[in-house]
Amino acid sequence: MSVLKTHLELIDKQILQLLKNIEDQEKVLKRILVLKNFYERIIKKEEELVKDKMGNIETLNNYKMQYLSLLAQIKNLQGQINHYKLQIKQLKTQKEIIINKFINDKSNKLQNILNQLASVKEQMEYYRIEVLYTKIKSPINGQIIKIAVHHPGEVIKPGEPFIEIAPDSGLYQFWVYIFPKDRAKVYKGQKANLHLIGFTGLSGVSIETEVVFITKDVIKISGSNVKYYKALLKLTPKGIAHLKKYNIKLVSGMPISAYIVAEKVTPLEYMLQPIFQIIKSSFVSP
């Protein structure tokens, strides 16, 4: 900015000097024009005297030579003044070019900065969205009972469960395993009884639940060849009433036994089932 200011001040000084030169030349020109007018009158008067044979031809020629000299001086001064004016015009054009160049350079730099800011803003928005979707929020409050990562920088594979939370809502749900041979007997809406084997004094208490979901495919237990179907159970109003009645507070991970009510049998049929199975198997060819 200081270099530009110095340059512009130098141009302004040159313009001021040229304007002073023009002013001085115009003063001289004004005096010469007065002499020109004077010689025009003298020459006219002398021509009349010569015509009447009362004047001197040499004097008349001398006046004319001086008059021609004044005309030459006038032409020279007018040329210098026009030259000074042309220089002033060129300096003003140069000054305007310098100022416009400075403005364009600053405008381009400003535009580049704005473009960079816009690019940074887009990147910030991208990272904001990325961070937003990177945050993992539990759909419900509860207690963490299992977590697969413990240090910053650990990688979680897509679809890999890495945290288990026991909800605090009191609306407990239970996953149970079903043998493939029993799958056809289990359906959505079916009742199931839970037994709290972790409570010594309440092992005989039955908590009613209801089947709300059954997996379509069998699930292989890790580390074994045993396959099961998984069913999701939820407490029924009757089951919730039993929990309140016995003042039972369930905790995630608590061991339970689930008995899905597949079909109704009488006590006698239940006791005779092993005998019927033996008789049935005796008719099967080895």
pLDDT for 58 equals 87
- May I ask the CATH architecture of the domain 166-283? Beta Barrel (2.40)
Model pLDDT for residues 16-72, shown as the tens digit of each residue: 999 999 999 999 999 999 999 998 998 888 888 888 778 788 888 898 999 999 999
Spelled out in words, what is the top-level CATH class assigned to the domain 1-131?
mainly alpha
The share of the chain scoring above pLDDT 90, in percent, equals 27
Model pLDDT for residues 134-175, shown as the tens digit of each residue: 667 776 677 777 788 888 778 777 767 777 776 665 556 788
Model pLDDT for residues 251-276, shown as the tens digit of each residue: 666 777 788 776 665 555 545 555 55
Cα–Cα distances in angstroms (integers) from residue 123 to residues 109, 110, 169, 270, in the given order: 21, 20, 40, 70
Q: Is the pLDDT of residue 281 over 50?
A: no
Do the Cβ atoms of 84 and 18 come closer than 8 Å?
A: yes
Residues 6+ apart with CB under 8 A from 195: 203, 204, 205, 206, 207, 256, 257, 258, 259
| Better-scored residue on pLDDT, 142 or 90 | 90
pLDDT for 284 equals 43
Q: Where are the domains of the chain?
A: 1-131, 166-283
pTM: 0.41
